[in-house]
Chains A and B, each alone.
Chain A
Amino acid sequence: MPSVAAMGRLVAATLVLTGIFGAVGGYRLGLWIGPTPGPGLMPFAASVLLAAFAAVPALGRARAFAEDGAATVWPRFVSYTGAAGLLCVAPPLMGTTASFIAALVLVLAIGERISAPRSLALSLVIALATVALFRLALDVPLPDPVIDRLLGR
């Protein structure tokens, strides 16, 4: 895996590119319309500043990015990012409750290495409690085609 210094430079370089992209976008929107500022003025100014301030760490010495000394536990980290991804895309497809259970099982069983039956049991309890709180008590319309069918909606 890349070092923190290399990652820091990469992040700074991405910020510079974002700044350049934003500046071009802002310029195209129009900086000035007659005597008044246009819709592109603020994005243009912010982008130019972003590119300028991020350029220094991007081009500076690698030692400017101090190693934080913490080793990353990759399997657990990947399970959490996977669960985050799952929570973004799965609810409209397989329903909120099923997506929550899947995301929790992924994290608990693979990331946290809790036994499969315990992970499943915990996931069921946490997912159902969360859905009940938000859907039934707070009336948040969480997408859930399966429960909707069961409730005859």
Chain B
Amino acid sequence: MAGILGGLAHAALPANLLFCFIGVALGTAVGVLPGIGPTATISLLLPITFHMEPASAVIMLGGIYYGAMYGGSITSILIRVPGEASTVITCIDGYEMARRGRAGPALGMAAFSSFIAGLIAVLGMMIVGPVLARAAYHFGPVEIAALVVLGLVMVVMISSASSLRAMAMIALGLLLSTIGQDFVTGEERFTFGIATLTDGLGLAVIAIGLFGVSEILMLAGQREEDRAVIQSPRRLRELLPNREDWSRSGWPILRGSFLGFFLGLLPGAGALVSTFASYVLEKKLARQPERFGRGAIEGLSGPEASNNAAAQSAFVPLLSLGIPPNAVMGVVLGALMIQGIAPGPRLATDHPDIFWGVIASMLFGNIMLVILNVPMVRLFVSLLRVPTRILAPCILLFCAVGAYSINNNMVDVAVAMICGVLGYVLRRTGFDPVPLLIAFVLGGILEKSVRQALLIGYGSPYVFVERPIALSLLVVAVLLLLLPLARQILAVVQPRSQST
């Protein structure tokens, strides 16, 4: 308790509050701009942190990370371009809400659900975080591979297309994720001699193409009367979530926060898997699951809560075990190491100001995120008042610059535009690009963990069924796949038995 109070006092120092605010504001800005992600921003700001107090440095870098999670939702909702991988799910119902004139409530709910989830995650981190982090590291490559497989099965369930086509898109996403240099042998795979492809395709480039450019092409092909679908709200009351939105979102926010908190502790795929786990859960629990994909606010509030909770709980394994669960935390680890501080089990006792100060700062950071963003909802929504014939070309231009700015490379612009045409063709023919993108993100983690798991098992695939956690996850995945099939068989068999 003394540690928590000390942390709160340390985080409330004016300098730390200022750095927290700078981090949150910067994070929101980079989340809005497609291409410039939190990893790049934190890496760029790393030299500035050399002259800062270690706790202040991590507070600012942390603010950038969870600020970017919210910023990424803004573009997902308004223009269907996910700023971050974990906001891909927000594109589904968030953008549909914007199309139906409910961009304000969507943006407002994204901010409020992130805020509530942030508070729950901070409380969780203070109470059970370090203990859970140790438990989470029973997740080795075998368990992570099984978790990713379960995640991919969930993606089939959230897809608007048929299961078979969703699985085809997952396979295509996995194949695209293998482009580039093999991480074990260094051999080039499907690079066709193009040097830029050696590092593989960029997630942001593909997301810009599949979602942003393809949406513009969809709008370009529509007749004038069909294009005027994006409505902008007129009254202030319409800008914020109403009572019904809150009653629909209460439980999804709570469930999403807990899912995000627990999955965020896991290395690699935690934050991303938690968003679609939350979406699948809400769709399964909904009284009218057919509303999902057509602007259901539960499909936005649950995943938004889970991604923010996961962004914060990701700090627990870093601070209490010294193991970064994702790339952003890897850079934060670097910032601490440069300052001569090694995160790990002794950090809470040796440097309580850093351990508890960083956790407590998230409390203030989440409040700042709401104060900063809720008044901005009106400004963001006013973007929709620009006529589609002017807005659409601007977004196309923005997509091109966004793709270029990732690596300052024209090949990325070409890849984004090719992915845009691919996304357009896939959407027109009933293939859903969402599973493709998620499989692309998870593909790298799946390959790495499968290969490590097979190494552990001396090449034997039985390693996946010998471990109880992995086996349980795989059994759930198989059941989830077979359930719709069993329902279809039952639907055919039952009427027959009734007629006889």
A residues contacting B by CB (< 8 A) are 4, 7-8, 11-12, 15, 18-19, 22, 25-26, 29, 32-33, 35-43, 45-47, 49-50, 53-54, 56-57, 65-66, 68, 70-74, 76-77, 79-81, 83-85, 87-89, 91-92, 100, 103-104, 107-108, 111-112, 114, 122, 126-127, 130, 134, 138, 140-143
Determine the chain B residues whose CB is within 8 A of the CB of A87 once the complex forms.
396-397, 400, 413, 417
Is there an interface contact between B175 and A36, defined as CB atoms closer than 8 Å? Answer: no
Band of interface residues on B: 35 or more
Q: How far is the CA of A144 from the CA of B37 in the complex (A)?
A: 24
Cα A34 to Cα B320 with chains together (Å)? 38
CB distance from A44 to the nearest CB of B (A): 9
Contact B397 A130 (CB under 8 A): yes
- Known contacts A19-B171, A43-B190, A138-B33, then 16 further A-B pairs from the complex at CB < 8 Å, ordered by chain A residue: A4-B429, A12-B429, A36-B454, A38-B185, A46-B171, A46-B172, A46-B443, A50-B168, A56-B164, A70-B223, A76-B221, A84-B421, A88-B410, A107-B392, A108-B389, A126-B397
Whether A143 touches B167, Cβ cut-off 8 Å, given contacts A35-B458, A68-B428, is: no
Cα A81 to Cα B404 in complex, Å, equals: 18
> B182 — which chain A residues lie within 8 A by C-beta?
29, 39
Q: Which residues of B contact A104 (CB under 8 A)?
A: 393, 397
CA distance A89 to B418 in the complex (A): 12
* Segment at the interface with A among B20-28, B212-220, B239-247, B303-311: B212-220
Which of A73, A85, A126 sits near B393, CB closer than 8 Å? A126
Expressed in whole angstroms, the Cα–Cα distance for A40 and B184 within the complex equals 11
Given that A57-B165, A140-B408 are known contacts, is A39 also in contact with B189, CB under 8 Å in the complex?
yes
Q: A76-B220, A134-B401, A142-B401 are in contact. Are A46 and B174 (CB under 8 A)?
A: yes
> Given A37-B451, A42-B178, A77-B220, are A11 and B397 also a contact pair (CB < 8 Å)?
no
Q: Which residues of B contact A46 (CB under 8 A)?
A: 171-172, 174-175, 178, 443
- The answer to whether A49 touches B167 (Cβ under 8 A) is yes
Number of A-B contacts (CB under 8 A): 184
Residues of A within 8 A of B451 (CB): 36-37, 41-42
- Cβ B217 vs Cβ A4 within 8 A: no
Q: Are A107 and B396 in contact (CB under 8 A)?
A: yes
21 A-B pairs within 8 Å (CB atoms) are namely A15-B172, A39-B185, A39-B187, A41-B451, A42-B451, A43-B190, A47-B175, A50-B171, A53-B168, A66-B430, A77-B217, A84-B213, A89-B414, A91-B404, A91-B410, A103-B393, A126-B394, A127-B397, A138-B33, A140-B408, A142-B404
Residue B376 CB within 8 A of the other chain: no
Residues of A within 8 A of B170 (CB): 49
Q: How far is the CA of A103 from the CA of B394 in the complex (A)?
A: 10
Q: Report if A8-B429 is in contact (Cβ < 8 Å); known contacts: A36-B451, A107-B393.
A: yes
Q: In the assembly, what is the distance between CA of A56 and CA of B394, in Å?
A: 39
Given A36-B455, A39-B182, A43-B190, A122 contacting B171 (CB threshold 8 A): no
In the complex, are the beta carbons of B174 and A42 less than 8 A apart? yes
Q: Which residues of B contact A47 (CB under 8 A)?
A: 171, 175
Pairwise interchain contact A85-B174, C-beta atoms closer than 8 A: no
CA A32 to CA B443, docked complex, whole Å? 19
Cβ B171 vs Cβ A57 within 8 A: no
B392-445 interface with A by 8 A CB criterion: 392-394, 396-398, 400-401, 404-405, 408, 410, 413-414, 417, 420-421, 425-426, 428-431, 443
- B171 contact set on A, CB distance < 8 A: 19, 46-47, 49-50, 53-54
A26: min CB distance to chain B, Å: 8
Query: A residues within 8 A CB of B289?
Result: none
- In the complex, the answer to whether A25 meets B220 with C-beta atoms within 8 Å is no
- Least CB distance from A126 to B in Å reads 6
Q: Complex Cα distance A47/B179, Å?
A: 12
Contacts of A22 in B (CB 8 A): 175, 190
B459 within 8 A of A: yes
Assess the B421–A77 pair: CB atoms within 8 A.
no
Give the complex CA separation of A74 and B174 in angstroms.
Answer: 33
What's the Cα separation between A18 and B168 when bound, in Å?
11
A25 vs B33: C-alpha distance when bound (angstroms): 36
Give complex CA distance A143, B411 in Å. 13
Task: Tell me the nearest residue of chain B to A54, going by C-beta.
Answer: B168
A26 to B447, CA, bound (A): 13
Tell me if B226 counts as interface (CB < 8 A to partner A): yes
Instruction: Find out whether the CB atom of A114 lies under 8 angstroms from the CB atom of B168.
Output: no
Asked whether B450 is an interface residue with its Cβ less than 8 Å from the other chain, the reply is: yes
Taken together as a complex, chains A and B put the C-alpha atoms of A83 and B59 apart, in Å, by: 43
CB of A63, distance to nearest CB on chain B (Å): 12
B390 at the interface (CB under 8 A from A): yes
Contact, CB under 8 Å: A141 / B429:
no
Residue B450 contacts which of A12, A19, A42, A143 (CB distance < 8 angstroms)? Answer: A42
Question: Given A71-B223, A79-B220, are A18 and B175 also a contact pair (CB < 8 Å)?
Answer: yes
Contact B222 A73 (CB under 8 A): yes
Question: Given the complex, which residues of A lie within 8 Å of B421, measured CB to CB?
Answer: 81, 84
Q: How far is the CB of B378 from chain A (nearest CB, A)?
A: 22
Complex: A111 Cα to B221 Cα, angstroms: 10
Q: Select one of B36, B417, B443, B454 contacting A88, CB under 8 A.
A: B417
B430 touches A53 (CB 8 A): no
